[in-house]
């Protein structure tokens, strides 16, 4: 049967890709131009049989694939995929359920409900909070801030959903000096403005300074939205959330949001929970599944303490849809979407509470190993306190241009993949350990490749 044939072919191709991950060059060997030449880019008049399509597609793109799911990919904050989460994701496609409304898929709705409750419990967040399953940290920040915008303006007697922002008593927004770009993007999308947001100074690890927040808040009248962060994208540093919550709670007409795209998972580890102490005092939280939980792209969660605020801001209504306040899409900005809670359920069911903590702790231990081995290299200086899974370093003996060149050489070599960044106005290199399959040997191999690339810079 044609369907079985094409699915069997895809399974074989997927297996062969996954088996190749530990050994293949991590970066993509060829760039976009060559890929365009390899791919059929002219829309055909006549169709081709499905097995041939899948075969040719896989063969054409193969040299342009990056081994992001492999054990030595340390770019951005890119989680691997647990096999069980991948299997559940395949079922998501096969079942093809739309969790917009419970009536469309009672199964998807109930799995969302269960996965949501588990995530809240693991992260130590209020059991009654709303959890919207969205595409990632970006949309989680957007959804949470939409709920914040609703609540703060409703408190001023303004219905922003009905009347928009023109003439509204728009809240003041305070964000950390190192707030993630997607948080700023959320402010833009919500009409709160990126330039209007006031930056609260941060310390040398990128943490918001509570004393500076107190000063900034003292100068603010009216409703205020404060956005803190658990996990700075370069250093992994967590804002002092308990102190920040105290400062924000001392005034009314205030909403505290925490962008914890990856760092919030520290709460799932008894060993690391202290680093996010006070996180439960916020009003909303953004967290990713596709980063540290190691479910496949795409998956983020928007968590809002007051489900009424989330629903008021995000629920769609149409006579034919019958989406009620308890339907999954009442707390997401989307209507139709993938049943992306299934892989979350599968990952959590398979790992259990202990397994999630071990995943978090293992990545942190590997990051510390990387930092210690890198620091042994004569010219490398680790710039951050390695509190979570991020290592930030610079090649001191080389100039700024050569530090950036080291990143390119490492990527070209293919043993591992690390990315460049700018830290305190100078080029730096970041290494993020976010994959369940990374081993101590992978870290040592990566460090060797990096130090060799540094050495080649000196002799070049
Ligand atoms: C702190 C923080 N917030 C938000 C995001 C954006 O997440 P996503 O790429 O899933 O939209 C990231 C991504 O690295 C992040 O580190």
Q: Is 288 in the pocket of ligand 1 (CB under 6 A)?
A: yes
Q: Is 277:113 a contact under the CB 8 Å cutoff? A: no
What phi and psi values does residue 445 have, to the nearest 5 degrees? Answer: -60, -40
pLDDT digits (tens, 9 = 90+) for 130-145: 999 999 999 999 999 9
Atom of ligand 1 nearest to the CA of 77: 14
278 Cβ below 6 A of ligand 1: no
pLDDT of residue 147: 98
Tell whether domain 87-347 is in CATH 3.40.640.10.
yes
Separation CA 361–CA 102 (nearest Å): 36
State whether the beta carbon of 227 lies less than 6 angstroms from ligand 1. Answer: no
Question: CA–CA distance from 262 to each of 14, 23, 66, 132, 343 (Å)?
Answer: 27, 27, 21, 17, 17
The low-confidence residues of the chain, meaning pLDDT below 50, are 460
> Could you tell me if the CB of 261 is within 6 A of ligand 1?
yes
389 close to ligand 1 (CB < 6 Angstrom): no
Residue 239 in contact with ligand 1 by CB distance below 6 A: no
Report the pLDDT value the prediction gives residue 319, as an integer from 0 to 100: 65
Question: Which tens digits make up the pLDDT trace of 193-221?
Answer: 999 999 999 999 999 999 999 999 999 99
pTM metric for this prediction: 0.97
Answer yes or no: is the C-beta of 138 below 6 A from any ligand 1 atom: yes
Ligand 1 atom 15: the closest Cα is on which residue?
A: 261
Peptide bond into 298 cis (omega under 30): yes
Which residue has a Cα nearest atom 9 of ligand 1?
137
CA distance 259 to 184: 11
Ligand 1 centroid from CA 4, angstroms: 38
- Write down the pLDDT at residue 162: 96
Q: In what order do the strands lie in the sheet with 224-229?
A: 130-134, 300-304, 284-288, 254-259, 224-229, 172-176, 198-200
Buried b (16+ CB within 10 A) or exposed e, 377-404: bebbebbbebbbbbbbbbbeebeeebbb
Q: Where are the domains of the chain?
A: 2-68, 87-347
Q: How far is the CA of 180 from the centre of ligand 1 (A)?
A: 7
pLDDT at 201: 98
Decide: 257 in ligand 1 pocket, CB within 6 A: no
Within 13 A of 273's CA, how many CA atoms are on the CB side? 12
Buried b (16+ CB within 10 A) or exposed e, 246-276: ebbeeeebbbbbbbbbbbbbbbbbeebeebb
Q: Say yes or no: CB of residue 233 within 6 Å of ligand 1.
A: yes
Tens of pLDDT, residue by residue over 314-338, are 998 766 666 666 788 899 999 999 9
Residue of the nearest CA to atom 5 in ligand 1? 137
CA geometry: angle at 383 spanning 381 and 387, to 5°? 125
Q: Is the CB of 306 under 6 A from ligand 1?
A: no
Residue 317's pLDDT is 73
**Ligand 1 atom nearest to 138, measured from its CA:** 11
Query: Would you state the pLDDT for residue 318?
Result: 64
Residue 289 near ligand 1, beta carbon < 6 Å: no
The residue nearest atom 16 of ligand 1, judged by CA position, is 233
Report the nearest-CA residue for atom 7 of ligand 1: 137
């Amino acid at each position: 049967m044609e369907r079985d044939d094409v699915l069997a072919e895809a399974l074989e191709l997927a297996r062969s890709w996954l088996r190749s991950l530990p050994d293949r060059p991590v970066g993509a060997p060829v760039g976009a131009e060559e890929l365009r030449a390899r791919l059929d880019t002219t829309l055909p008049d006549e169709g081709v049989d499905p097995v041939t399509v899948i075969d040719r597609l896989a063969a054409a793109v193969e040299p342009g694939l990056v081994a992001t799911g492999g054990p030595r990919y340390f770019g951005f904050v890119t989680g691997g995929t647990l096999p069980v989460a991948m299997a559940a994701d395949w079922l998501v496609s096969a079942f093809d359920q739309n969790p917009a409304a419970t009536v469309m898929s009672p199964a998807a709705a109930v799995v969302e409900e269960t996965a949501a409750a588990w995530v809240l419990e693991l992260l130590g967040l209020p059991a009654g909070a709303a959890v919207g399953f969205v595409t990632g940290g970006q949309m989680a920040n957007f959804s949470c801030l939409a709920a914040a915008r609703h609540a703060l303006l409703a408190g001023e007697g303004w219905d922003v959903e009905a009347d928009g922002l023109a003439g509204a008593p728009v809240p003041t927004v305070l964000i950390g000096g190192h707030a993630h770009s997607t948080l700023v993007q959320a402010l833009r999308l919500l009409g709160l403005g990126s330039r209007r947001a006031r930056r609260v100074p941060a310390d040398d690890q990128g943490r918001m300074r509570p004393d500076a927040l107190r000063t900034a808040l003292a100068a603010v009248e009216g409703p205020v939205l404060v956005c803190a962060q658990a996990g700075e994208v370069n250093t992994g540093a967590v804002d002092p959330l308990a102190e920040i919550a105290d400062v924000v709670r001392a005034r009314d007409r205030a909403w505290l949001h925490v962008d914890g795209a990856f760092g919030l998972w520290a709460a799932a580890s008894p060993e690391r929970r202290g680093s996010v102490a006070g996180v439960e005092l916020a009003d909303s939280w953004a967290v990713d599944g596709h980063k540290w939980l190691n479910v496949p792209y795409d998956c983020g969660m928007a968590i809002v303490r007051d489900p009424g605020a989330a629903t008021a801001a995000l629920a769609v209504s149409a006579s034919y849809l019958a989406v009620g306040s308890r339907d999954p899409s009442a707390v997401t900005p989307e209507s139709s979407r993938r049943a992306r809670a299934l892989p979350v359920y599968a990952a959590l069911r398979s790992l259990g509470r202990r397994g999630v903590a071990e995943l978090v702790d293992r990545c942190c231990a590997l990051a510390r190993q990387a930092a210690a081995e890198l620091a042994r290299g004569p010219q490398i200086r680790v710039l951050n306190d390695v509190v979570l899974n991020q290592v930030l370093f610079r090649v001191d003996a080389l100039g700024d241009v050569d530090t950036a060149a080291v990143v390119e050489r490492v990527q070209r070599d293919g043993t591992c993949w690390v990315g460049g960044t700018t830290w305190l106005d100078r080029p730096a290199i970041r290494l993020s350990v976010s994959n369940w399959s990374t081993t101590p040997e992978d870290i040592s191999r990566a460090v060797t490749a990096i130090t060799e690339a540094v050495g080649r810079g000196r002799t070049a």
